[in-house]
Structure 1
Amino acid sequence: MALASSCRLFMALGMKRLIKQGVRTVCVSGLSETHQQHQQHQQLSVTSPLRDSRRRRSFKLHRNAPYCNEEGGSEHTGYSFAVWSAMAFSLFGSKDERTEAQKMEDEIILLLKKAKYSMMLGELDAANGFLHKAIRLAHQSHNNNAIIYTYSLMANLAFVQGELDNAEKLFKAAMSFMLSGGTPQDDNAVIEMSLKLASIYATQNKNELAEHGFQFCTDSLEAKIEKQKDLPPDAVSEEERKDTRLLLGLSLDARARYLASSRRLTGACRDYHQALQICQEEQGEAHPQTLTLMSDLATVLDLQGKHDEALAQVRKAVELGQTAGHPDQHVLLGNMAGILMHKGEFEESVKLYEEALALAQAAGDAEAVQQFEEGLKELSRRREEKKQSTNEVTSAEQ
């Protein structure tokens, strides 16, 4: 019970979660170099699809460009409807002196905006149609930046629709254009796409590919961080440094969940410890992701039979979550209830399960509701077994 409710392995979740982990950004300033000034305010970004629907994975990286929020919409004022409306008024309210290339680029951007808006509304088929039109125009105009960005969105969309083979091909296509265009292999955007591919392979039980992918991500980022330490202070911005560390934390977190799914608990525990340390240092002890990692680490410790250490971790997460208002407080409570049950503290466990169940019902979290109901059944079974065992001992003594 504890593992199922806390780890939320994306290989077990299916592909129902979209663009819910905006981690890394590829800035595309106006898509073309020749048209840079005209489209400077229309920067685009590549967002990741690996976030759980309840903000399960939220290592938040700084961005220089607008990006999709959890519903696929913009989280940057420069990408707001007001700007787009003003742009449209400017385009149609004055003499059009743009070149054909500029017009095609504007059409691509408009199609991409429509696609992102359709994603925000959950109209995925419509989004897919806009993206296919955009990619055709991008190829016709040989606009590599637009190709990369559009392939990334198409991959995200295929990912959420469960079309994993298609998502894999699209992510690889985007990476191919990036690398052929001179993007370094250890660029954070390339590494994040590699992390997405690793998660797809994990979902498909292609374990060798998944493990190689996770290892590539962690090794590349660790090497990059070490290399940055030897550079002058002004050579790497604080924003980039933090971006890289948080992406390493995300990679370790993903690999820990993968390892936990196959009960390789020592490795999972190691990765969770390191991811937790990064999250605490970069985002603070009370950050929702920090608390989730505490809870996940407690789950693995519990599975290792280290119940006291696990209880200390999850209790701290619950207490901080109550103060900070963790969005998944019911998950933390449910994990704590499971650990208490394993320790044999049934009375306290049932109280927490009932509290977690009520919160999950109020939040409309059907998955958690089912898990907590199963936990209560398991708790009832264990209490009955203990009662019978006690009666048998008493009878034997008499």
Structure 2
Amino acid sequence: MPAIPPSGGIRMYCNPVNPAYSPELFTGYLHQMTFTQRLKNTIYSIFQRQLSKITYRYLDELKQKYNINPEISTFETLSQAEIWFIYGNFVLDFPRPYQPNVISVGGITANPARPLAKDLEDFMQSSGNNGIIVFSMGSYVTAMDTHMVDVFADAFAKLPQNVISKSAGQPPTTLPANVKMLEWLPQNDILGHPKTRLLICQCGINSVFEAIYHGIPVICIPVQSDQWDNAKRLEVKGVGLQLDLRSLTSDVLIQAVETVLRNDSYQSKMSRLSNIFHDEHLPAPQRTVYWMEKVVRHGGVSHLRTSAFDLNVIQYSLIDVYSFLGIVMLVSVVTFIYLWILLCRFASRCCYTKRERQKTE
């Protein structure tokens, strides 16, 4: 799931969205945008709203088909929610306003590292001072062809570090001696190991938060969905590099690894993000449990629910207020112009009468 939902979803719980500084999901924009980017971001924001309406329409049909509260719409069902959990954290994303019943729980899968299995621990220790690189492309690994698999294998063979790689697809033509391939990785535990130096991944949100939690710099190779946005944020914050999979070569990957590992700024900035991430009142898992139990203890948290849900579109958008103010301003302008014309005509008549008197005299 994305760290920050698109504006169509955000508006679902009546959250204010300003496309001037809140980049839309899948755009790859930053919080500071050029005119062209703000224009595109605004258009995309409008598109997201319409897409949400279409999605709700299909969900309404499913509700009717399976008799799931068919008397109310999907939007009305969602608007009755007492609390919203958002899988995000401002340590990664750019600041934006949230309603008080919107709780960020990004990083819920990130936890203190547990001991590794003996064979895996032995491989970690065999890396010596060079350390370990973790390579995981998520579900995309099953779609990589042999050529791309060999590109990664060739690059890893030339690195001094050991590499732990997730493998569930095509195996490389030749498996380098410094690479250990596993069908499943205890990624959180490996990232928390003292020998781990770097994560190379597609930038799925769970991997990103686990890397931040354990303070591990990232080389990002996004392939779909929100991964480009996550990669862009990591790169802008100076804790990772983004590579293009379409033009990736072993030499490019090796250069990126050397850049991140030899430049201490990547590690120091990621350590700072990690410290900020840890410096919260409650970690994400405990925070989630706390709010769920609070809803149960008090029979809901309606005092945090905005009254915006009780307004119709005209009221929420202040169309009636702006219309009234527009009419008042229009009447005021028309009245002013009318009075000004009367004053001008009166002054003109006075001047004309005075000139006529002077001629007569």
Higher strand share: 2
Higher helix share: 1
TM-score (norm 1): 0.21
TM-score (norm 2): 0.22
- Between Structure 1 and Structure 2, whose CA radius of gyration is higher? 2
